[in-house]
Amino acid sequence: MFKHLFKTDPVGIEYPGYLTISRRKVKWARLKVYANGDVQMVVPQHYREKDIHQFYQHRLQWIADKRSICQRAPHEALGIQEDQLLLFGQGYDLQQVEQENEIVDHERQRIISRFDLGQREAQEKWYRPIAKRYLAQRIAELANVNGYHFNRLFIRAQRTRWGSCSSQKNISLNWKLVKAPRSVSDYVILHELAHTRVMNHSPAFWREVEQHAPHYREAKTWLNLYGIFL
């Protein structure tokens, strides 16, 4: 149940009770919406109260849309059935059998497994090998097609990141990306590959991303709205 109390800042501007504002050593203001509907706003230390309020007003609709999605059950928000497993942005039916071979039938969108994939711990153990194989293959394909070169790939379980790229051109990708639509995971891969050429988020970086992922804004929007459920 969301809170609807309002709190007032020192200059009399009212903010909803679900919003927490933190000043930190960051370059840009950003927002994070949690599954319970709480919203954290992180702003640069130099921001004045009117800067904070302007940023808040500019993102009001985005906050409302995101919180509205959070009110729904994860499977409803993602458009799948409650007893299905999410893979590549689609709902797959589950069938548990006593056999060693794991079968993923993409045509019928069906998963046949010896594991009880209704359990979250079992799901992660099942997802990780699939994510490792798919993401390793896909990053090699996208790097080759777009002329990128990276050093090593790591599949991790980052809590707040979908990917990262080190100065040594080592790339890390979150295994949960295998749940997202392929266009979304492709964007994240290309985002990190772009960092092998531009190690910041300057306009030059985003031009690099757009050159190889022209629809990256749609992918970013999908992650912002639904990534919390992956």
Per-residue pLDDT reduced to its tens digit, 33-49: 887 788 999 999 999 98
Cβ atoms of residues 197 and 208 within 8 Å: yes
CA separation, residue 43 to residues 3, 25, 26, 50, 209 (Å): 22, 8, 7, 12, 25
* Beta carbons of 131 and 155 less than 8 angstroms apart: yes
Instruction: Give pTM, 2 decimals.
Output: 0.77
Distance CA 193, CA 102 (A): 31
Closest CA to 146 of 186, 106, 94, 178: 186
The values of phi and psi at residue 44, to 5°, are -60, 150
Strand partners, 30: 42
| Alpha carbons 193 and 165: distance in angstroms, whole number | 8
Of 94-103, 134-143, 181-190, give the lowest mean pLDDT range.
Answer: 94-103
Break the chain down into helix, strand, coil percent, rounded to 5.
Answer: 40, 20, 35
Ranked by mean pLDDT, the top range of 8-12, 64-68, 83-87 is: 83-87
Whole-number average pLDDT of the chain: 88
What is the average pLDDT across 203-225?
93
Burial 63-74 (b: 16+ CB within 10 A, else e): beebbebbeeeb
Q: Is residue 183 scored above 70 in pLDDT?
A: yes
- Domains, the chain, ordered by start: 6-70 (no CATH), 121-229 (3.30.2010.10)
Rg (CA), the chain: 20
Task: Give the C-alpha separation, 162 to 164, whole Å.
Answer: 7
| The two three-digit tokens of residue 187, written as one number | 């964007």
- Is residue 195 over pLDDT 80? yes
For the stretch 84-116, pLDDT in tens is 999 999 999 988 887 767 788 899 999 988 878
pLDDT score for 11: 52
> Which pLDDT score is estimated for 162?
95
